[in-house]
Amino acid sequence: MIIIMKAQATDKDIEAVLTRLESGGWRTHVSKGEERTIIGVIGDERRLDQGAMSRMDGVDRVVPVLRPFKLASRDFQPEDSKISVNGHVFGGNKVIVMAGPCSVESLEQMRETAVAVREAGAHLLRGGAFKPRTSPYSFQGMGEAGLKILAQVREETGLHIVTEVMAPDQVGLVSKYADILQIGTRNMQNYALLNAVGQTNMPVLLKRGMMSTIEELLMSAEYIMSNGNHKVILCERGIRTFEKYTRNTLDINAVPVLKELTHLPVVVDPSHATGKWTLVKAASKAAVAAGADGLIIEVHPNPAEASSDGEQSLKPQRFAELMEEVRRVAAAVGRTV
């Protein structure tokens, strides 16, 4: 349910509506737009006397929200959410680019990559210290030693860090080093993990499950937000289809669909979506043309030697070329990079 206040409603009117709802046991979410205020109501809607609410001073109308996600929905908050990390704002005009290797492997590897991607214009550094691998025999990541490398490279280059957290009991540790907590595709419906990151104040990059619908992605965002953390950045990273030529299928539709359904920023991961470095530039440009607020791209100084995802990792020089072309596409759709 949302309560749309009249343009001329006073602060007192708004306060009275909130008091009535909260004393009745409902939770509220206030979105103050330029024109008018919208109050989102969370709780059992059947108990709410819609008629009585709509007769309160300053109330224009009461509208049921039929979709299952509430805090994440555009109905609750029509304006785009803006999430700032080190001055780079997700959900604004600028397309935010995160780049770096799949896995943290050594200080030298991270340092070399960070300097190169910063030079090419990336805004944040990615790198996994805890790796969710399909096989238990594959490289599992450096763990805390990897987080320490990330923090040192942030110190040296000024690039802030996005890195994955895989389990609720890692959230405290990873939050000590990271600037954005990444939830991987395999954990999108790990509700204990979603609740745990929801209880922090950290921005969360929530990747779409490889077999999840857009609605399921938004319900996972809702888990994080209903714990009080509204700093959720959604990430389309490709889904499983019958097509085998690429690792996944980039669901480019997800970008405009999400922009319609939610106020949360939407970024695209063209590396995991394609699985092949030769396709990453085209997928990046398509994402920006479709309205993505950012990109997260795998870059490795020596992809042939990478501990994970070498086939889809760009060499720094190729990443620099990609950035040039992405800038031109961004300009064509009225965005900067």
| Residues in touch with ligand PEP (CB under 6 A) | 102, 128, 132, 184-186, 207, 237, 269, 272
Q: Which residues of 59-93 are buried (b: 16+ CB within 10 A; e: fewer)?
A: bbebeebeeebbbbbbbbbeebbebebeebbbbbe
Of 185 and 212, nearer to Mn ion (C-beta) is 185
Of 28 and 249, nearer to ligand PEP (C-beta) is 249
Residue 213, Ramachandran bin (φ over 0: left; ψ between -120 and 50: alpha; else beta) = beta
Please give the span between the terminal C-alpha atoms of the chain, in angstroms, as a whole number: 37
Q: Which residues of 145-154 are buried (b: 16+ CB within 10 A; e: fewer)?
A: ebbbbbbebb
Which one of Mn ion, ligand PEP, none is in contact with 185 (Cβ closer than 5 to 8 A by kind)?
ligand PEP
d(CA 269, CA 113): 18
* Backbone CA torsion sign across 175, 177, 179, 184: negative
* Backbone CA torsion sign across 164, 165, 171, 177: negative
- Least gap, CB of 146 to Mn ion (angstroms): 14
Of 192 and 331, nearer to ligand PEP (C-beta) is 192
Which one of Mn ion, ligand PEP, none is in contact with 274 (Cβ closer than 5 to 8 A by kind)?
none
Element containing residue 281 per DSSP (H, E): helix 277-290
Which one of Mn ion, ligand PEP, none is in contact with 39 (Cβ closer than 5 to 8 A by kind)?
none
Size of site (CB under 5 A) for Mn ion? 2
Of 5 and 299, nearer to ligand PEP (C-beta) is 299
Binding flags for Mn ion, 102-141, as an x/- string (CB under 5 A): x---------------------------------------
d(CA 323, CA 317): 10
Judge whether 334 and 327 are in contact, CB under 8 Å.
Answer: no
The yes or no reply on residue 309 touching Mn ion (CB under 5 A) is yes
Element containing residue 47 per DSSP (H, E): none
Of 184 and 301, nearer to ligand PEP (C-beta) is 184
Which one of Mn ion, ligand PEP, none is in contact with 222 (Cβ closer than 5 to 8 A by kind)?
none
Of 128 and 146, nearer to ligand PEP (C-beta) is 128
d(CA 159, CA 155): 8
Which one of Mn ion, ligand PEP, none is in contact with 247 (Cβ closer than 5 to 8 A by kind)?
none
Which one of Mn ion, ligand PEP, none is in contact with 261 (Cβ closer than 5 to 8 A by kind)?
none
Residue of minimal Cβ distance to ligand PEP: 184
Interface residues with Mn ion (CB under 5 A) are 102, 309
